[in-house]
Amino acid sequence: METQTVTLQTPYLMNAWYVAALSTEVGPEALFHRKILDTSVLIYRKQDGTPVAMHDRCPHRFAPLHLGKRIGDEVACPYHALQFDCSGQCTKNPHGNGQIPKAAKVRSFPLVERHGFLWIWMGEAEADLDRLPDYRPLDVGHENGVAYTYMHMKANYELIVDNVMDLSHIDHVHGEIITTRGQLSPLVPQMREGDERISARWEWKQTPAMLIFANFMPDPAAEARMFFDITWAPPANIQLSVGATQNGAALDLEHCIGQYDLHTCTPETANTTHYWFATRRNHIEEDGDFNKMKIQAMHTAFETEDGPIIEAVHGEMGTPEFFSLNPVLMSNDAAPVKVRRLLKRLIAAESAAA
Amino acid sequence: METQTVTLQTPYLMNAWYVAALSTEVGPEALFHRKILDTSVLIYRKQDGTPVAMHDRCPHRFAPLHLGKRIGDEVACPYHALQFDCSGQCTKNPHGNGQIPKAAKVRSFPLVERHGFLWIWMGEAEADLDRLPDYRPLDVGHENGVAYTYMHMKANYELIVDNVMDLSHIDHVHGEIITTRGQLSPLVPQMREGDERISARWEWKQTPAMLIFANFMPDPAAEARMFFDITWAPPANIQLSVGATQNGAALDLEHCIGQYDLHTCTPETANTTHYWFATRRNHIEEDGDFNKMKIQAMHTAFETEDGPIIEAVHGEMGTPEFFSLNPVLMSNDAAPVKVRRLLKRLIAAESAAA
Amino acid sequence: METQTVTLQTPYLMNAWYVAALSTEVGPEALFHRKILDTSVLIYRKQDGTPVAMHDRCPHRFAPLHLGKRIGDEVACPYHALQFDCSGQCTKNPHGNGQIPKAAKVRSFPLVERHGFLWIWMGEAEADLDRLPDYRPLDVGHENGVAYTYMHMKANYELIVDNVMDLSHIDHVHGEIITTRGQLSPLVPQMREGDERISARWEWKQTPAMLIFANFMPDPAAEARMFFDITWAPPANIQLSVGATQNGAALDLEHCIGQYDLHTCTPETANTTHYWFATRRNHIEEDGDFNKMKIQAMHTAFETEDGPIIEAVHGEMGTPEFFSLNPVLMSNDAAPVKVRRLLKRLIAAESAAA
């Protein structure tokens, strides 16, 4: 007797840009592969550096193309050497009379390189660049002022979005470095809702400032005014700004010591997630050692503090259907719940249109 | 393609006391956790030592509470620090205005500490202490005369109950230490059936006595009269007495060199089981080194002799439904089959009442 | 996420001879066990060396018999010592009055030792020796001229048959040792179809001959005429002959430097396969060191070159139903597709007759 698991078809938002990889993850010669929304994807760069993406599966006998060979801008299957150009069209068949079967075509996916990431469009609708959020602040400034990292999580992606949308967790989950000393939890964030955007904002005072900023304050030990401002955009992007000041300046990155971050998730499957964050700071931007230390500290904080809790929640839930478990909702859930509900509506609308 | 073992929804007897842990497994400061009947359970001791149990899942965002913090007699969730008392009632919400949501309650489970074990009641009916079997002989005597051990088994719990209810296996599975030298298998045990109790008794002679007792006999090399007497009580407890004598004494623990044991199983899932046994002997009770050696030998015998066979049987069966495989039944199956049938009736009665 | 298990009725051809083991895998005293067509099988040799096979499951409490004991030509269950003869009949019951329950019988399987293999018949129909293909050339010649190897594959068996039936892959998958230098792929093989047999033949010239043969040619660096000739027989046997010559000789093993191979697969499950090959060469037949080197090289080539691709294809397909994925078929697929279709017809005919 054989058994097979049937995975329920989890409804992802398909007509959307997901991060497929960091720009730096795909080298000039690589045949990079990653599973995205349950589909095997091959990513490589043409000789001019342009990244391309296609289904990582030969249409002949289904061998993964990333096990094959680069031939100029094309890729040859590892099994019988059918060769495909970067649009997925078969260009060479070494078998028989060499005629190329009409069906010998691999599905290719629109791929765009922006803000240090490769963004992929997995849906059937035409790729729409207007739906790619604008994260240009990551691009502006010294190269040692920005850093990126990647993590693989054994959890549904919406749990990771929840974690960032509800920043009240930081006093409870994290250590001294980014604590608000209990100031954040009592606050009900100010919400803003836009066209497929949900934002939340917290403002508070603490003494001293978060330790990631305190040393850059005029008086490191004294009280500071601080803010968090986050904006979700579909499918799973959260832009987070955080800053501190000790004068009467406006609470924004132009006037505060702070940083501009992007958190972004891509479902690998319903139960596993690719998770990246990027961070650009507006202080000691040229210090490469500090830059390395900072991204490593953020990576470690997530991997050792948020990550184990999120994966444990995923294991305990046993389903991606959060609301089916009747969660007790509180004031700090306002933002993540709005995101879950909007995402559900967007997915439903997409399904209805299909 | 993914494959996994077929898990059937096995109906457990719910309104019953299961062992959750040894008393010694739950230290004074610990947030101990264990999956019991497919449910995550948190167990800890109040500052006065009283053990308590509750669902190991925060009702807010489903984080396991055992990852949180002890705060006096309470526990705070690791994720957003909701705090719960040992009845599962939320006592503190650090978010927003601090109001405690009405639904912020964790299910708690009745837990009783007796005979060196923590016993849990997972059912919906009111916990009934009269249904907790009386194993007081474990408590009476020198502390070096009793010992306990725990094993985790990759097998359905009923297979472990079968193993103890049919002691005819010992001549075939075990080595010299506890052999009856072939005397047991030909015997049809005397059965006794009581109110939710099933007992079996074997009496025989062998030369010498079982080696675990022979050295305590007047003439270690000579023939001895021996007995086994076992009593099953639901859901999965088997009290086993065994003894030997070389005079005309009654075959009971009052008159023989012997021991009073408890075997008890708690399903973790349909395919995995928590298994404990306890043993109190009535000879050299003060010898601590002997005590350690003895429980270690029992543990090792099970782990290396019974255990691999039971797990192999579980793997070969591929289902917990023993009778669905049309087993050939023999005289030695009388006791385990009576237990399986009574347990099935009790579970059916419970389901019918619900 | 909820997962459901679904029982797939995997369509194996049942009334057929499958290889169960190499003759050398089952020593004189061994209780050898292997899962074959989803069934646990015990194989051992009687004291006169005759191999026998039976279900590796005691009908009493389902313990695997291979964990038990050999007693002359019989086997005793590890759990309660029921003893079975090599026809599967229970011959001894040490329990109760010793009467042997009528149902105490283990299913035995016809097993035949031929050509260095043990062949098993798992079907319900009477075993038919006429359906065992004749591979006597493996038996004829010096003992150092023949070698055997076994591999376990995480792939459906039909993918392995495909690989051998379409030899066009060798220029793309393998290194210098067995390349045809691109001569094979353009050829459409000559097909022959017989009574439940499908054959394909390739003839070509290359310079030099395949390196496995070149050093045995009159002029190792010069052009050679070569051939492959393969014949599939159900369920999953492929006899492959390959040779080279530099004179006008007929392209067959009588007149060429070459070898006579057998590739044979036995499904362990729908997702895993036992795979063996045997090879007999017609040159330096007495050289034992060369013989060891040669089979090791063939084994390594498969394990490091074909194997990873086939397992990756299996993983990517996610189903054993090859045609359901709409493969693009080409001239080189003629032979494997004919085999898949004939096998499907044979399985369907068998199911219809049952």
Measured CB to CB, residues of chain C less than 8 Å from chain B are 3, 5, 7, 40, 56-57, 59-64, 67, 76-81, 93-98, 101, 103-104, 269, 271, 314-315, 317-320
Is the pLDDT at C8 greater than 50? The verdict is no
DSSP category for residue B49: S
Contact A279, A135 (CB under 8 A): no
Number of neighbours of residue A36 by Cβ within 10 angstroms: 24
- Among all chains, which residue has been given the structure tokens 């051939």? C227
Distance CA C93, CA C81 (A): 7
Contact C37, C107 (CB under 8 A): no
pLDDT in tens, A217-233: 999 999 999 999 999 99
**What pLDDT score was predicted for residue A93?**
97
Return mean pLDDT, chain C.
95
Write the burial class of residue B98 (CB in 10 Å: 0-12 exposed, 13-18 middle, 19+ buried).
exposed
Write the burial class of residue A336 (CB in 10 Å: 0-12 exposed, 13-18 middle, 19+ buried).
buried
Is A169 in contact with B318 (Cβ distance < 8 A)?
no
Distance CA B302, CA B287 (A): 23
**What pLDDT score was predicted for residue B320?**
86
Write the burial class of residue A183 (CB in 10 Å: 0-12 exposed, 13-18 middle, 19+ buried).
middle
Which residues, in sequence order, are CB contacts of A143 under 8 Å at separation 6+? Answer: none
Structure token pair of residue B8: 């059937």
What pLDDT band is residue C60 in, cutting at 50, 70 and 90?
A: very high
- To 5 degrees, how large is the angle CA B86–CA B92–CA B97? 160
Q: Is the bond into B94 cis (omega within 30 degrees of 0)?
A: no
**What pLDDT score was predicted for residue B177?**
85
Q: Is the bond into C235 cis (omega within 30 degrees of 0)?
A: yes
Is the pLDDT at B37 greater than 90? The verdict is yes
Which residues, in sequence order, are CB contacts of A346 under 8 Å at separation 6+? Answer: A13, A196, A234
**What pLDDT score was predicted for residue A320?**
87
DSSP category for residue B89: B
Is the pLDDT at B6 greater than 70? The verdict is no
DSSP category for residue B144: G
Distance CA B195, CA B210 (A): 32
For an interface test with B, give the residue of A323, A330, A337 to mutate (most B CBs within 10 A): A330
Helices C157-165/C334-353 angle, 10° precision? 140
Give φ, ψ of C97 to 5 degrees: -85, 5
**What pLDDT score was predicted for residue B11?**
81
Nearest by CB to residue B173, choosing from C7, C78, C95, is C78
Q: How close is the nearest chain C Cα to the Cα of A51, in Å?
A: 23
pLDDT (mean) for B229-242: 98
**What pLDDT score was predicted for residue A10?**
53
- To 5 degrees, how large is the angle CA C89–CA C94–CA C100? 40
**What pLDDT score was predicted for residue C181?**
92
Is the pLDDT at B116 greater than 50? The verdict is yes
The runs of H, that is alpha helices, within chain B are 157-165, 170-173, 211-214, 288-301, 307-317, 334-353
- Name chain C contacts of B330, Cβ cutoff 8 Å: 60, 80, 93, 95-96, 101
Is the pLDDT at C287 greater than 90? The verdict is yes
Distance CA A226, CA A241 (A): 11
- Name chain A contacts of B40, Cβ cutoff 8 Å: 316
Q: Which of these, A168, A325, A202, A163, lies nearest to B98 by C-alpha position? A: A168
Is the pLDDT at C4 greater than 70? The verdict is no
Q: What is the 3-state secondary structure (H, E, C) of chain A?
A: CEEEEEECCCCCCCCCEEEEEEHHHCCCCCCEEEEECCEEEEEEECCCCCEEEEECCCCCCCCCHHHCEEECCEEECCCCCCEECCCCEEEECCCCCCCCCCCCECCEECEEEECCEEEEECCCCCCCHHHCCCCHHHCCCCHHHEEEEEEEECCCHHHHHHHHHCHHHHHHHCCHHHCCCCCCCCCCCEEEEECCEEEEEEEEEECCCCHHHHCCCCCCCCCEEEEEEEEEECCCEEEEEEEEECCCCCCCCCCCEEEEEEEEEEECCCCCEEEEEEEEECCCCCCHHHHHHHHHHHHHHHHHHHHHHHHHHHHHHCCCCHHHHCCCCCHHHHHHHHHHHHHHHHHHHHHHHC
Q: Which of these, A43, A2, A12, A77, lies nearest to A271 by C-alpha position? A: A12
What pLDDT band is residue C328 in, cutting at 50, 70 and 90?
A: very high
Contact A194, A233 (CB under 8 A): no
Q: How close is the nearest chain B Cα to the Cα of C5, in Å?
A: 6
Distance CA A228, CA A111 (A): 31
| Closest alpha carbon within chain A to B104 | A328
Distance CA C8, CA C348 (A): 16
Contact C44, C55 (CB under 8 A): no
Contact A242, A272 (CB under 8 A): no
Measured CB to CB, residues of chain B less than 8 Å from chain C are 1, 3-4, 6-7, 162, 166, 168-169, 171-173, 182, 185-188, 308-309, 312-313, 316-317, 325-333
pLDDT in tens, A129-142: 999 999 999 999 99
Name all contacts of A246-251 with Cβ < 8 Å and 24+ positions apart.
A246/A209, A246/A217, A246/A218, A246/A219, A246/A222, A247/A218, A251/A203, A251/A225, A251/A226, A251/A227
Question: For C19-56, b where at least 16 C-beta lie within 10 A, e where not — what string?
Answer: bbbeeebbeeeebbbbebbebbbbbbbeeeeebbbbbb
**What pLDDT score was predicted for residue C320?**
87
Distance CA C110, CA C124 (A): 11
Contact C117, C19 (CB under 8 A): yes
**What pLDDT score was predicted for residue B319?**
87
Q: In chain C, pLDDT over 70 holds for what percent of residues?
A: 97
- To 5 degrees, how large is the angle CA C346–CA C350–CA C354? 170
**What pLDDT score was predicted for residue C10?**
54
pLDDT in tens, B308-343: 999 999 999 998 899 999 999 999 999 999 999 999
Is C271 in contact with B1 (Cβ distance < 8 A)?
yes
Q: pLDDT of chain A along its 354 residues, tens only? A: 333 444 444 589 999 999 999 999 999 999 999 999 999 999 999 999 999 999 999 999 999 999 999 999 999 999 999 999 999 999 999 999 999 999 999 999 999 999 999 999 999 999 999 999 999 999 999 999 999 999 999 999 999 999 999 999 999 999 888 899 999 999 999 999 998 999 999 999 999 999 999 999 999 999 999 999 999 999 999 999 999 999 999 999 999 999 999 999 999 999 999 999 999 999 999 999 999 999 999 999 999 999 999 999 999 999 889 999 999 999 999 999 999 999 999 999 998 887
For an interface test with C, give the residue of B158, B174, B309 to mutate (most C CBs within 10 A): B309
pLDDT (mean) for C195-217: 96
Which residues, in sequence order, are CB contacts of B63 under 8 Å at separation 6+? Answer: A309, A312, A313, A316, B57, B77, B78, B79
Structure token pair of residue B48: 């006065």
Q: Rounded to a whole number, what is the largest CA-CA distance in chain A?
A: 80
A7-11, A27-31, B45-49, B140-144, range with the lowest pLDDT: A7-11
- Name chain B contacts of A330, Cβ cutoff 8 Å: 60, 80, 93, 95-96, 101
| Closest alpha carbon within chain C to B163 | C79
Give φ, ψ of C43 to 5 degrees: -130, 130
For an interface test with A, give the residue of C160, C269, C330 to mutate (most A CBs within 10 A): C330
Expressed in angstroms, the distance from the first to the final Cα of chain A is 38
pLDDT in tens, C66-85: 999 999 999 999 999 999 99
pLDDT in tens, B171-230: 999 988 889 999 999 999 999 999 899 999 999 999 999 999 999 999 999 999 999 999
**What is the CA B13 to chain-centroid distance, rounded?**
14
**What pLDDT score was predicted for residue A353?**
85
